A and B are shown apart, each in its own frame.
Chain A
């Protein structure tokens, strides 16, 4: 079935790079997304990648997609305390009317 798996927790030191990983099951997915959620807030779209791309870079964010292994990662360079949040990986199904399948989220904790 449709599923997304993420590790639940990641702790990094301020200034280091963070890498959040995600695996998904659907091979026909078209877009893959990373969303950020701060406590008590909605979802903030960080970035997305089309499934025929291997990499996308946007300022401090780098997304890598390994379609063969169905593995998606988000790298945050120079991680700051303001990056502390829950990060959700999601994919949209082919012809799926933008129906997104989400993982359970990875909680990123940034410490001094």
Chain B
């Protein structure tokens, strides 16, 4: 049973560019959340997708956008990259939108912005 998978694992971009990160949820899960983890800090909630719609959003600018596909996989897009966007981007999957204990994370995509 595959867990949460993310791609790519590492990538390097320059300021002003755009990036797309991908996530496939754990089998049986239909909800995907994205988190940003800056170096030395805990993860911060970006947004959550359920039924192909953004359900809740954290304190991130509109440069951060996402999408969920009918197979429940998801993409995170970041436009006009800034140096401060350098971080580990984590995807988490769960079933439904309600609070449950079952929230699993992938290994992350490490983005470096030069």
Is A98 positioned at the interface, with any CB of B under 8 Å from its CB?
Answer: yes
Shortest C-beta distance, B107 to chain A (Å), equals 4
Q: What chain A residues lie within 8 Å of B41 (beta carbons)? A: 104-105
Q: How far is the CA of A27 from the CA of B95 in the complex (A)?
A: 24
Contact residue among B31, B35, B42, B92 (Cβ-Cβ distance under 8 Å from A103): B42
- Give the A-B pair count, Cβ closer than 8 A: 78
Contact residue among A31, A43, A48, A104 (Cβ-Cβ distance under 8 Å from B105): A43
Contact B33 A45 (CB under 8 A): no
Q: What chain B residues lie within 8 Å of A90 (beta carbons)? A: 42
Is B56 positioned at the interface, with any CB of A under 8 Å from its CB?
Answer: yes
Contact B42 A94 (CB under 8 A): no
Is B103 positioned at the interface, with any CB of A under 8 Å from its CB?
Answer: yes
Chain B residues numbered 39-55 whose CB sits less than 8 Å from any CB in chain A? 40-45, 48, 50, 55
Q: How far is the CA of A30 from the CA of B92 in the complex (A)?
A: 18
Contact A31 B99 (CB under 8 A): yes
Chain B residues numbered 56-114 whose CB sits less than 8 Å from any CB in chain A? 56, 58, 88, 90, 92, 94, 97-108
Chain A: interface residue total (CB-CB under 8 A) = 29
Q: A42-B107, A42-B108, A99-B33 given as contacts; is B101 within 8 A of A31 (CB)?
A: yes
Chain A residues numbered 26-47 whose CB sits less than 8 Å from any CB in chain B? 30-31, 33, 35, 41-45
Q: How far is the CA of A3 from the CA of B105 in the complex (A)?
A: 21
Q: What residues make up the interface of A, taking CB atoms closer than 8 Å to B?
A: 4, 30-31, 33, 35, 41-45, 48-50, 88, 90, 92-105
Q: What residues make up the interface of B, taking CB atoms closer than 8 Å to A?
A: 4, 6, 31, 33, 35, 40-45, 48, 50, 55-56, 58, 88, 90, 92, 94, 97-108
